[in-house]
């Protein structure tokens, strides 16, 4: 750890301890150390020839639902096999200790939620069992990869089973209306859930400090959330091994991995 970085980390950690309200915005980088590949770092093997923008869209699903399902099936298997890492644990501990802290995540892997359920001792691992006062501080912007919903009606259910997707004929269908089921995530070109997004902007506007960890900060509206903290006079801390469009606006930058940095940055003791 270089001298500058340690200074930034110590100073930012101190400011976080003194802040009244903190919002934490996370992206795929916080799950990297759990073994889940990020989107914009090279995708692996077979999938390296596709960009997420070509697979995670309603058009892609209409054109070739089996292809899109194969990609999601591969990612869902990865998520099921992974566990939260020290970054998720640090965030969960912080939310438990600081009742005014809010987590806003772009991740669909549920690892924050598993760590949060663990921090509150919920044996089932289901955040739905957390008190309402906690659930309102966990804002999931892009949905849940371990749930499926119908393309046509309001059917939605948790689902982590492997999905057969060799051809369109074997794809999972809605038990209510027989249309195709799809992953319950937000695709490019789709609207985010209005109340969730609004709550995220409100939390960011109230926050003295916004911690931005493991996101390339190129996908909006998520990437605009830290701007709200800046606009209302707050400061940003960025945790990322690489620079992003937000780096120049960050008051503190900690160059490093989320699993290594967040336990120190968010230490409450
Ligand atoms: N710790 C912290 N950051 C890391 C780590 C790590 N161990 N490893 C990689 N990163 C950083 C990368 O430098 C990059 O800036 O994490 C970021 C990952 O960026 P993306 O892959 O673009 O992920 P994200 O920002 O979450 O993407 C936003 O795009 O495809 C959509 O809906 C999807 O929610 C996703 C959104």
Q: pLDDT at position 197, please?
A: 98
- The span from the first CA to the last CA of the chain, in angstroms, equals 22
**Are residues 220 and 89 both part of a single domain?**
yes
**Ligand 1 binding pocket includes 256 (Cβ within 6 Å):** no
Atom of ligand 1 nearest to the CA of 239: 2
69 with 245: CB under 8 angstroms?
no
Q: How far apart are CA 109 and CA 135, in angstroms?
A: 17
38 CA to centre of ligand 1 in angstroms: 5
Ligand 1 pocket, mutate which of 9, 25, 26, 29 (most atoms under 8 A from CB): 29
Q: List, edge to edge, every strand of the sheet that includes 143-150.
A: 156-158, 143-150, 181-185
178 CA to centre of ligand 1 in angstroms: 35
**Ligand 1 binding pocket includes 33 (Cβ within 6 Å):** yes
pLDDT over 80 (residue 27) = yes
Q: What is the mean pLDDT of the chain?
A: 94
Mean pLDDT computed over 182-193? 97
pLDDT over 70 (residue 22) = yes
Q: pLDDT at position 4, please?
A: 64
240 with 265: CB under 8 angstroms?
no
Q: How far apart are CA 213 and CA 50, in angstroms?
A: 25
Domain count, the chain: 2
**Ligand 1 binding pocket includes 40 (Cβ within 6 Å):** yes
DSSP-derived secondary structure letter, 235: E
Atom 10 of ligand 1: nearest residue by CA position: 29
The three-state DSSP-derived secondary structure of 4-33 is HHHHHHHHHHHHHHHCCCEEEEECCHHHHC
Q: pLDDT at position 46, please?
A: 61
Q: pLDDT at position 208, please?
A: 98
**Are residues 223 and 97 both part of a single domain?**
yes
The domain boundary, picked from 158, 185, 212, lies at: 185
Q: pLDDT at position 47, please?
A: 72
**Are residues 131 and 175 both part of a single domain?**
no
Atom 7 of ligand 1: nearest residue by CA position: 257
Q: pLDDT at position 124, please?
A: 84
217 CA to centre of ligand 1 in angstroms: 8
Q: Cα-flanking dihedrals φ and ψ of residue 103, to 5°?
A: -105, 130
Atom 8 of ligand 1: nearest residue by CA position: 29
Provide the 3-class DSSP secondary structure of residue 78.
helix
**Ligand 1 binding pocket includes 249 (Cβ within 6 Å):** no
**Are residues 258 and 168 both part of a single domain?**
no
44-58, 194-208, 212-226, 242-256: least confident range: 44-58
Q: How confident is the model at residue 44 (pLDDT cuts 50, 70, 90)?
A: low
pLDDT over 60 (residue 195) = yes
208 CA to centre of ligand 1 in angstroms: 24
Q: How far apart are CA 203 and CA 102, in angstroms?
A: 7
**Are residues 70 and 92 both part of a single domain?**
no
13 CA to centre of ligand 1 in angstroms: 22
CATH of the domain at 104: 3.40.50.1220
**Are residues 130 and 44 both part of a single domain?**
no
The residues that are catalytic are 142
In the numeric block, the tokens 């996370």 are attached to 26
Give the structural domain span for 92. 1-35+84-142+192-269
Q: For the segment 2-17, what is each residue's pLDDT rounded down to a tens digit?
A: 456 667 999 999 999 9
Q: pLDDT at position 36, please?
A: 92
**Are residues 121 and 211 both part of a single domain?**
yes
**Are residues 75 and 91 both part of a single domain?**
no
**Are residues 99 and 133 both part of a single domain?**
yes
**Are residues 177 and 258 both part of a single domain?**
no
CATH of the domain at 56: 3.30.1600.10
**Ligand 1 binding pocket includes 85 (Cβ within 6 Å):** no
Q: pLDDT at position 89, please?
A: 98
The domain boundary, picked from 153, 185, 217, lies at: 185
Ligand 1 pocket, mutate which of 9, 25, 35, 40 (most atoms under 8 A from CB): 40
Ligand 1 pocket, mutate which of 58, 141, 215, 265 (most atoms under 8 A from CB): 215
Q: pLDDT at position 1, please?
A: 46
**Are residues 99 and 156 both part of a single domain?**
no
Q: pLDDT at position 28, please?
A: 96
Q: How confident is the model at residue 39 (pLDDT cuts 50, 70, 90)?
A: confident
Percent of the chain exceeding pLDDT 70 equals 96
**Are residues 94 and 222 both part of a single domain?**
yes
DSSP states along 206-221: H-SEEEEES--S-STT
5-9, 91-95, 215-219, 262-266: least confident range: 5-9
DSSP states along 154-212: S-EEE--S----SSGGGS-B-TTT-PBEEEEEPPTTSPPPHHHHHHHHHHHHH-SEEEE
Q: For the segment 143-182, what is each residue's pLDDT rounded down to a tens digit?
A: 999 999 999 999 999 999 999 999 999 999 999 999 999 9
Q: For the segment 80-122, what is each residue's pLDDT rounded down to a tens digit?
A: 999 999 999 999 999 999 999 999 999 999 999 999 999 999 9
For the record, the structure tokens of 233 come out as 């006079």
Q: pLDDT at position 49, please?
A: 75
């Amino acid at each position: 750890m270089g001298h500058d970085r340690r200074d930034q980390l110590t100073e930012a950690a101190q400011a976080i301890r003194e802040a009244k309200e903190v919002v934490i915005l996370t992206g795929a980088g916080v799950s990297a150390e759990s073994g889940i590949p990020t989107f914009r770092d090279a995708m692996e093997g077979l999938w390296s020839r596709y960009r997420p923008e070509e697979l995670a869209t309603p058009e892609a699903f209409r054109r070739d639902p089996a292809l899109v399902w194969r990609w999601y099936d591969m990612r869902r298997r990865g998520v099921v096999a992974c566990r939260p890492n020290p970054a998720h644990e640090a965030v969960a501990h912080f939310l438990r200790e600081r009742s005014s802290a809010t987590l806003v995540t772009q991740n669909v892997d549920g690892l924050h939620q598993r760590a949060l359920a663990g921090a509150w001792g919920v044996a089932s691992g289901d955040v739905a069992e957390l008190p309402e006062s906690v659930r309102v501080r966990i804002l999931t912007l892009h949905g849940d990869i371990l749930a499926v919903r119908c393309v046509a009606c309001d059917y939605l259910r948790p689902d982590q089973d492997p999905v057969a997707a060799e051809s369109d004929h074997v794809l999972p269908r809605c038990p209510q209306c027989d249309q195709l089921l799809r992953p319950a995530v937000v695709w490019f070109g789709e609207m985010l859930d209005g109340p969730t997004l609004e709550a995220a902007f409100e939390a960011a506007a109230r926050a003295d400090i916004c911690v931005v960890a493991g996101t390339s900060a190129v996908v909006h509206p998520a990437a605009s959330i830290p701007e709200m903290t800046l606009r209302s006079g707050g400061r940003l801390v960025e945790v990322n091994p690489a620079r992003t469009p937000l780096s120049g606006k960050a008051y503190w930058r900690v160059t490093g991995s989320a699993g290594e940095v967040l336990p120190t940055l968010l230490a409450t003791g």
